[in-house]
Each structure stands twice: as structure tokens, then as C-alpha cells.
A = this chain, B = another copy of it.
């Protein structure tokens, strides 16, 4: 299968991949040209269509994944089919490292939320490079630490905050990610959003309505106007709606 990526460069699905993308990724900042070259030689590209599984909880993990295009989710499923999303990642983010460093298998599953291009770095050769590059090691430690921090926030939200507070916090985070615009566009469906903040689509719908009635936001399908950031801030700090 032969195609061209958005830079017009030719590539082959599942084959070697150029360094032009790799050097834009935070994890690889500070690496020498040599090291980037080495990485490019071990990188493999894969494409996924919307809804396709990237890996399953319990699978053996054989390398790290990097999102080049599209969005993916990392999630857990309960016995009875309920889903909790742990992360949603877009271009430049890495995922799937836990089994690389800890052995064992994936603690969660991963699926493409839209057509996605993923770069894969096989474990053994990545680890070898890691042991020869303190900068890469420190970047990796920083990356895992950021995720630990994110998880503490998520646990706090699930355990100590109510749904309106979690939703308000999510909207404010979105705004921060989108240049602090008062108008934000939801990057995921409301159904996915409900799985991310640990509730149901019905509840999300009702809360949006209530927040609209309270003058905090105005919802237009997938675009939400944050009319009262102050109020949202207060609500996110465990206020009541």
C-alpha cells in the first residue's frame, strides 16, 4: 500500500519513516541528529480507521506509539460494557509505554476515534537508544510524570467532585487548549465526553441545559460559548449548580 503523507513525502504503510515528523515531537527534543536518524530507522507507521482498535487491555506491549494525525482514546471497559476513558491523545502525543518499561501487558485498551496515523517504535531498539541517551530518558520520565499528575486530577474529580464541577473543569481545560477563546469546539462527541468524565450522555445533556439556563454557557451543537468563565471556575471548584 503506497500513499503520500501531508508533507507530500512518499511512504509505505508499515515501513520505515522519515525524521521530519519525529523531530517535532516533545519526547524527542534535545536529541542529536544522529539519534533522530536512529529513531527514524526503527519507526514504523500504521494507519487506523475510525473505531479500529490499536491495542487491547491484556495484550503484550511491544513498543511505544506516537499519534501523527487524528485522535485516539485509551480506555477501560467494565464487565457489563461500561466505558471509562483514561486519555484522549492527538498529534505529538505518545502512549502505550507502560508495558515497555514494566513488562507485563497493557493495563487498558486503545481505539482510533477518527482516521489516524500512528508511528510505532519497537520496544527493544527504543530501550537500547534510551540507555544511551540521558536526554531521551529524562524526557520520558517527564512524560510519565505528567501523566501521573493527570491521573491524580482525574481521580480527584471522580471521587471528590460532582458531575457539574467535572464538566465545568473540562470546558475550562478545553478553552485553555484553544487559546483561551470563549468559544470552544468539542473535539469529541458528547457520548465520548460522558465516558471521559465518568457519567452518561443523558446526564451530560441535562447538565449542559442547566448550565445554559444559569447563563454560564451557550451550546450550539458542537460549539460551546463560555459566557461566564468566573462562574465556571467557581463551579469547577466543587460548587453546586
Contact = CB atoms under 8 A, between A and B. Distances in A.
A228 to B, nearest CB: 19
A79 interface: yes
Nearest to A78: B160
A84 B147 contact: no
The number of times this chain is found in the oligomer is 2
B238 A156 contact: no
Interface in A146-163: 146-149, 151-156, 158-161
A97 B147 CA distance: 12
Contacts of A160: 76-78, 82, 84
B78 A161 contact: yes
Given A134-B137, A237-B79, A149 B98 contact: yes
Return the 10 tightest CB-CB contacts between A and B, nearest first: A78-B160, A131-B134, A102-B145, A151-B151, A101-B141, A84-B159, A101-B145, A79-B238, A144-B144, A107-B152
A107 B152 CA distance: 7
B155 A78 contact: no
A86 interface: yes
Nearest to A160: B78
Give the size category of A's interface with B: 35 or more
A131 B138 contact: yes
Given A151-B155, A159-B198, 7 more contacts: A76-B152, A79-B237, A84-B155, A86-B155, A98-B149, A130-B134, A141-B141
16 contacts: A76-B159, A77-B160, A79-B238, A84-B156, A84-B159, A84-B160, A101-B138, A130-B134, A130-B137, A130-B138, A131-B137, A131-B138, A137-B141, A144-B145, A151-B152, A158-B159
Interface string A78-109: 11101010100000000001111111100110
A140 interface: yes
